[in-house]
């Protein structure tokens, strides 16, 4: 007899017992609360996002996903999905969690410049597999992130202005929709799903594998320039003007950092305010060196890592942390970042400001991000010029302050802000998420598709567009 331990609420125990029995009878592995496997599979990268599904199914293939979806529907439960733990938002207390982390298929077709990638694969593995062929997938700033979750949210990476959105490189999805049917989706086979899976962030199905086009990009001229807080004004104002003339071969962001005084932080940056200019140049390194000269000449950098690097070392541009941490994140979209906005950034978060954020980043968008290649997708707001992203560390000393400070920073950019958000930067929980991330027309279209392919609203991610 299976004993269901906390945190399953009493209302869900009969349904969970029935679902576990049905899955076990079908030979599908199931892990319950209180077991080591359950704990390992429900871990998240953001420690403020604890999840408590009624059970976890570590699927081995698409057939396991289909069985799980159908069993959950019959039991009156929802189904959620997680691979690497980077996209956790809801507690999942009425859901069975499908863990796709074991779906590790990875095949590079170098001659035809495409790859087939399982839903459990992280970008680092793809980059390493492509490197010997001089090819590259459009990964994000952190190669530790899962490929599929990143792609379904659009994917704005460190070379986005040159190569566009990562989701635009998808040529096919293998997906199980909310009705439990496994489907192969392309631009010509279920084209409506192909539209919605690229940018719809999991609202329409559980992706088990993707096929993506690769780009020829063996190397980059890339890295970061770190400056002392005393140079923040000159650096940020120069960066604002520099973005006006930066061609599409360059993708860049500027970040005001307040890194803790801890051993893992490089000595010059510990316990102080600094400014980092991130830069990735996809063209001739000599031209890239000339382009970045405008920033290098502002002041003497504390750290300068901008150099020719293998594309597989893409993560060195932003050096995003990989260990789980308790974070409070938020972002806004901006129509412009003129000198007045640069001055506002300095006023709100510069070295003389009282600011509770570990990082406040402004990232330039535009370039090839604007081009959907003639195959429209659900990704919203391609025409945003910049994004504003804040990260606060939710440690006891400042946990009560950080959310209020986050609102202060974003409210301060109201003059240049626009409606909307980016799926990968926004918590996908509830109708407020859908209202913020999707235009009304896109939200209505996703809702219609969800009702067709998930008539019983089994997929937890569909809540945002079905509410």
pTM of the model: 0.94
| Residues listed for the chain | 467
Tokens matching residue 142:
């952190």
What pLDDT, on the 0 to 100 scale, is given for residue 7?
46
Give yes or no for a contact between 319 and 224, defined as CB atoms under 8 angstroms apart. yes
Instruction: Say whether the peptide bond before residue 135 is cis (omega within 30 degrees of 0).
Output: no
Query: Radius of gyration over alpha carbons of the chain, in Å?
Result: 22
* 383-424 tens-digit pLDDT: 999 999 999 999 999 999 999 999 999 999 999 999 999 999
Beta bridge partner(s), residue 174:
184, 209
Stretch 49-76: mean pLDDT, rounded?
96
- Mean of the per-residue pLDDT values of the chain: 94
Q: To the nearest whole percent, how much of the chain has pLDDT over 90?
A: 87
Q: CB-based contacts of 97: which residues, under 8 Å, 6+ apart?
A: 41, 42, 51, 53, 55, 56, 57, 79, 80, 81, 82
CA distances, 336 to each of 58, 246, 248, 407, 421 (Å): 45, 14, 17, 20, 15
pLDDT band, residue 431 (cuts 50/70/90)? low
Q: CB-based contacts of 242: which residues, under 8 Å, 6+ apart?
A: 252, 294, 295
* Among 15-29, 351-365, 432-446, the least confident range: 432-446
Give yes or no for a contact between 437 and 423, defined as CB atoms under 8 angstroms apart. yes
* Among 9-18, 93-102, 315-324, 390-399, the least confident range: 9-18
Q: What is the Cα–Cα distance from 426 to 333, expressed in whole angstroms?
A: 12
Stretch 368-387: mean pLDDT, rounded?
96
Question: What is the C-alpha end-to-end distance of the chain, expressed in Å?
Answer: 37
Tell the burial category of 321 from Cβ atoms under 10 Å away from its Cβ (0-12, 13-18, 19+): middle
Placement of tokens 């009425």 in the chain = 94
Q: What is the Cα–Cα distance from 256 to 358, expressed in whole angstroms?
A: 8
How far does Cα 76 stand from its chain's mean position? 30
Give yes or no for a contact between 185 and 377, defined as CB atoms under 8 angstroms apart. no
Tokens matching residue 398:
């400042």
What pLDDT, on the 0 to 100 scale, is given for residue 430?
57
Tell the burial category of 287 from Cβ atoms under 10 Å away from its Cβ (0-12, 13-18, 19+): middle
Placement of tokens 């690097």 in the chain = 309
Instruction: List, in order of start, the domains of the chain with CATH numbers.
Output: 10-99 (3.30.465.10), 106-216 (3.30.465.10), 219-425 (3.40.462.20)
Q: What is the Cα–Cα distance from 123 to 129, expressed in whole angstroms?
A: 10
pLDDT(2) > 90: no
Stretch 66-92: mean pLDDT, rounded?
90
Give yes or no for a contact between 108 and 132, defined as CB atoms under 8 angstroms apart. no
DSSP class of residue 430? S
pLDDT(159) > 50: yes
* 101-110 tens-digit pLDDT: 999 999 999 9
Q: For 298, phi and psi rounded to 5 degrees? A: -65, -45
pLDDT band, residue 3 (cuts 50/70/90)? very low
Q: CB-based contacts of 375: which residues, under 8 Å, 6+ apart?
A: 168, 187, 194
Placement of tokens 């690497």 in the chain = 84
Q: What is the Cα–Cα distance from 364 to 160, expressed in whole angstroms?
A: 10
Q: CB-based contacts of 173: which residues, under 8 Å, 6+ apart?
A: 184, 185, 186, 193, 194, 197, 205, 207, 209, 210, 211
pLDDT band, residue 125 (cuts 50/70/90)? very high
Q: What are the start-end ranges of the H helices in 77-190?
A: 123-130, 147-152, 160-163
What pLDDT, on the 0 to 100 scale, is given for residue 466?
84
How would DSSP label each residue in 195-258? HHHTTSTTSS-EEEEEEEE-EE-SEEEEEEEEEEGGGHHHHHHHHHHHHTT--TTEEEEEEEEE
- The H helix count followed by the E strand count for the chain is 14, 19
Placement of tokens 């590259």 in the chain = 136
């Amino acid at each position: 007899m299976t004993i269901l331990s906390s945190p399953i609420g009493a209302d869900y125990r009969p349904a969970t017992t029935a679902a576990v029995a049905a899955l076990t009878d079908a030979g599908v592995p199931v892990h319950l609360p209180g077991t080591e496997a359950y704990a390992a599979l429900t871990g998240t990268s953001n420690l403020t996002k604890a999840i408590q599904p009624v059970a976890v199914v570590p699927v081995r293939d698409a057939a396991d996903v289909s069985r799980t979806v159908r069993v959950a529907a019959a039991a009156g439960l929802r189904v959620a999905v997680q691979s690497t733990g980077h996209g956790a938002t809801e507690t999942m207390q009425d859901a069975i969690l499908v863990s796709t982390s074991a779906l590790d298929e990875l095949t590079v077709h170098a001659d035809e410049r495409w790859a087939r990638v399982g839903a459990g694969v992280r970008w680092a593995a793809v980059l390493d597999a492509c490197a010997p062929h001089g090819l590259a997938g459009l990964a994000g700033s952190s190669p530790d992130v899962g490929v599929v979750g990143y792609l379904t949210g659009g994917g704005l990476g460190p070379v986005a202005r040159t190569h566009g959105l990562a989701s635009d490189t998808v040529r096919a999805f293998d997906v199980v929709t909310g009705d439990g049917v496994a489907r192969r989706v392309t631009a010509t086979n279920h084209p409506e799903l192909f539209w919605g899976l690229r940018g719809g962030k999991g609202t329409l199905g559980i992706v088990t594998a993707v096929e993506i086009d690769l780009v020829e990009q063996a190397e980059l001229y890339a890295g970061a320039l770190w400056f002392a807080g005393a140079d923040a004004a000159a650096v940020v104002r120069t960066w604002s003007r520099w973005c006006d003339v930066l061609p599409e071969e360059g993708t860049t962001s500027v970040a005001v950092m307040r890194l803790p005084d801890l051993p893992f932080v490089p000595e010059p940056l510990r316990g102080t305010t600094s400014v980092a200019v991130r830069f990735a140049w996809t063209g001739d390194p000599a031209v890239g060196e000339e382009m970045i000269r405008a920033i290098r000449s502002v002041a003497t950098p504390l750290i300068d890592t901008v150099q020719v690097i293998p594309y597989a070392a893409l993560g060195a541009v932003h050096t995003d942390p990989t260990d789980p941490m308790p974070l409070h994140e938020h972002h806004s979209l901006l129509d412009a970042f003129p000198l007045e906005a640069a001055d506002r950034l300095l006023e709100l978060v510069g070295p003389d400001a009282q600011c509770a954020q570990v990082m406040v980043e402004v990232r330039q968008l535009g370039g090839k991000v604007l081009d959907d290649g003639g195959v429209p997708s659900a990704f919203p707001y391609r025409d945003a010029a910049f994004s504003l992203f804040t990260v606060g560390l939710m440690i006891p000393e400042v946990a009560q302050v950080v959310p209020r400070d986050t609102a202060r920073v974003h409210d301060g950019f109201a003059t240049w802000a626009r409606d909307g958000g980016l799926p990968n930067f926004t918590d996908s929980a509830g109708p407020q998420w859908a209202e913020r991330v999707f235009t009304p027309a896109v939200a209505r279209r996703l809702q219609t598709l969800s009702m067709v392919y998930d008539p019983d609203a089994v997929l937890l991610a569909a809540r945002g567009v079905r509410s």
